[in-house]
Structure 1
Amino acid sequence: MNISPGLIVPPLTPFDAQLRVDEPRLQAQVNYVVDICDASFVIAAGVEAQEYSCLTLAQRKALIDRTIEYVAGRRPVVAGISHPSFRVAVELADYAARAGAQAVQILAPLRPFGGAPSEHDLVNYFTRIAAETELPIMLYLNAGPGADVSVEATVALAEIPQIHYLKESSRDLARVARLIQQIDHAGLARYYTTMQMLLITLELGGAGATMPPPAAALGRQLINAWQAGDQTRARALQQQFALFPAQWMKHGLTPVMKAAMEWLGVPAGEPYPPYSALSGLDREMLERYLRTTDLQHQGTHHA
């Protein structure tokens, strides 16, 4: 499963009018992630952009099932099992294993009773889960919905043998550069960052990045250019991430990416209520910007 450089992509989650997962649209999202983004791994119900926290446990399991079904063996699937309770995470891990997932992803959690967990808390949490699942673990670091984990604690977590992959959401170059050395180059785990850090991650010897569609379509083009030695094109693609999605992030990542997928002609619907879709002038400005990017030929929209 180790692919370097790689792209880890979570398909967006479409909802119907009854707030159930819209399965035909989900299948189209999965196909876009596999065929257009050329994902190295597909994430099922694992990151905040997928709105998994809005779902019941039964709905999360169904989303894992449908994602694995629609990927249909074309790529390895990493199932999200994040939960403050390690017992619930283990239940989801067992379910993911039976459903055919190749790995599980777990957000480093906040304490359920408030406050930041200690390094001991986090190591204990992940060690307990690792003891009860045979699947490789992808450690997901995203301060805000999850814990803000120090460099030292991140290295300690990466030393858990069952943690094979690490997804880093920080845009802190000093942190990223250090952890690529201390985790990836040290042979502890493969270290992935995010869209704004993709090119520098590749240059520093990291494993790649995680990002939702359609940003992942740009990420794939960037990786391909970098592998081909075309640094000019790789830099031009990285520069497209300077404004997309940052200029519209006041709305949140999911609304921006859902609006971009709508523009591409692969609709993922609106964000789970009460959160609003991108609209008005901001949506017009986003679509105008997208026409200047390398996404312009990757959908069925009318430019």
Structure 2
Amino acid sequence: MSEVFNGVIAPVVTPFDSQGELAVETIADSVEFTLECGCHGIVAAGTGVQETATLTPAERKTVITETIKAVDGRTRVMAGVSYPAQPVVNDLIEHAENEGADGVLAMPPWGVPPSRKANIRYYKHIADQTDLPVLVYNNPAVTVDMAKETILEIAKIDGIDYIKESSRDWDKLAWEFERIQHAGHAEMLSTMDVLLPTLMTGGKGIVISAPLTVPSMQIYEAYEAGDLNTAVELQRTFGTFPPDEADAGLTAVCKAATELAGVDVGPPRQPYDAIGETGREAIDEWMDEMGIPRM
């Protein structure tokens, strides 16, 4: 198993201008904010928070290229290659390799829900297409919630190195840790709500966007240093974020926070909702309390 993408892996928020077009010139600023918040690796155009499903394949390629260029070797970059059409997946994998990505990430296809067999076939194809580390990203918010038995079968495929479980279902996570992580099939990552129990159960980290990477890094470092009391106190942070006033979803929250930090990433791409003024004020207050960097 690869350990290239252990720790806190941060998807970079995708910027759009006032017309909803990809703001290419702001991608580097979004990367800088993400790096300033701290992480062990970066994701380009691959997750739900990054609005991946709203991007065209050409836009995905641009984001991958500009992200790798902006990172400039300071950390590892994983490129998103998910798509409901296999030829586009192939094209994205080839582009990621040519641009120098260190790994690829794939959610299940979105749109028509794929069957169990289709998902297994999809991930086997991706693993066969590249020698880069592959992260399987189970994200029920964007596509199907794959059953744990399906994820286990996928984890057994040669070339599958990581599983990111976003469901927040602890029974499911515990089952997967035993049969995937501890059985030696793939490294397990989860999300912010269950970061500390993930580490305590042998998981290797999380995938989460800035500024949530700030407390995530603190939890990870406290746990690695054996300071469980501090890690527990920091884990409670996620009980207060997102604030109750910010109820438009994690994408909108992370974009609002990035803007409040000084990076003009714009609101979520239409037709999705942005955070209102009351929510932005609550996010800003949380950022001050947590010492989130301002650009």
Under a length normalisation based on structure 2, what TM-score does the superposition of the two structures give? Answer: 0.93
Q: Distance in 2 between matches of 1:248 and 1:210?
A: 24
Q: Displacement of 1:297 after TM fit? A: 5.0
* Structure 1 counterpart of 2:134: 137
Distance 1:194 1:246, change over 3 A: farther
**Which residue is 1:201 aligned to?**
198
Q: C-alpha displacement at 1:3, in angstroms?
A: 4.9
Partner of residue 2, structure 1: 3
Quote the residue 2:272 is aligned against.
275
Task: Give per-residue Cα distances to partners, 1:109-150, cap 9 Å, x unaligned.
Answer: 25x5x3x43322211121122222222211010114212111
In the alignment, which of 167, 171, 174 is matched to residue 174 of structure 1?
171
TM-score with structure 1 length normalisation? 0.90
- The amino acid of 1:125's aligned partner reads Y
- Given that residues 102 and 135 in structure 1 are in contact (C-alpha distance below 8 angstroms), is that contact kept between their aligned partners in structure 2? yes
* C-alpha RMSD of the superposition: 1.9
Residues 202-226 of structure 1, C-alpha deviations (whole Å, 9 max, x = no match): 1111010010110011111111111
- Alpha-carbon shift at residue 84 of structure 1 (Å): 1.1
Counterpart in 2 of 1:102?
A: 102
In structure 2, the residue matched to 1:45 is 45
Unaligned 5+ runs, structure 1: none
| Structure 2 portions without partners, runs of 5+ | none
Deviates more, 1:239-248 or 1:77-86: 239-248
Secondary structure, in 3 states, of the residue corresponding to 1:250?
A: coil
Match of 2:146 among 146, 149, 152: 149
Cα distance in 2, alignment partners of residues 45 and 212 from structure 1: 12
User: For 1:8, what is the secondary structure of its paired residue?
Assistant: strand
How far is the alpha carbon of 1:262 from its aligned partner? 2.4
Shift of the 229–140 alpha-carbon distance from structure 1 to 2, 3 Å rule, reads same
CA distance in structure 2 between the aligned counterparts of 1:170 and 1:13, rounded to whole angstroms: 23
Among candidates 282, 290, 298, match of residue 293 of structure 2: 298
CA–CA separation in structure 1 for the residues paired with 2:273 and 2:84? 27
Q: Secondary structure at the match of 1:218?
A: helix
> Which residue is equivalent to 2:87?
87
SS in structure 1 opposite 2:104?
strand
1:5/1:206 contact within 8 Å kept: no
SS of residue paired to 2:258: helix
Q: 1:238 maps to which residue?
A: 235
- Higher RCO (CA 8 Å, separation ≥ 6 residues): 2
Work out whether 1:57 is the aligned partner of 2:57. yes
Distance 2:244 2:233 in 1: 18
CA distance in 1, matches of 2:84, 2:272: 23
Q: Deviations over 1:84-124 (max 9, x none)?
A: 112211111011111111111110225x5x3x433222111
Counterpart Cα distance in 2 of 1:31 and 1:263: 14
Identity %: 35
Secondary structure of residue in 2 paired with 1:278: coil
Query: For residues 5 and 64 of structure 1, do their structure 2 counterparts lie closer, same or farther at Cα, with a shift above 3 Å needed?
Result: closer
After the TM superposition, which of the residue ranges 178-187 and 272-281 deviates more from structure 2? Answer: 272-281
Alignment partner of 2:272: what SS? coil
User: How big is the shift at 1:52?
Assistant: 2.3
Aligned letter for 1:299? R
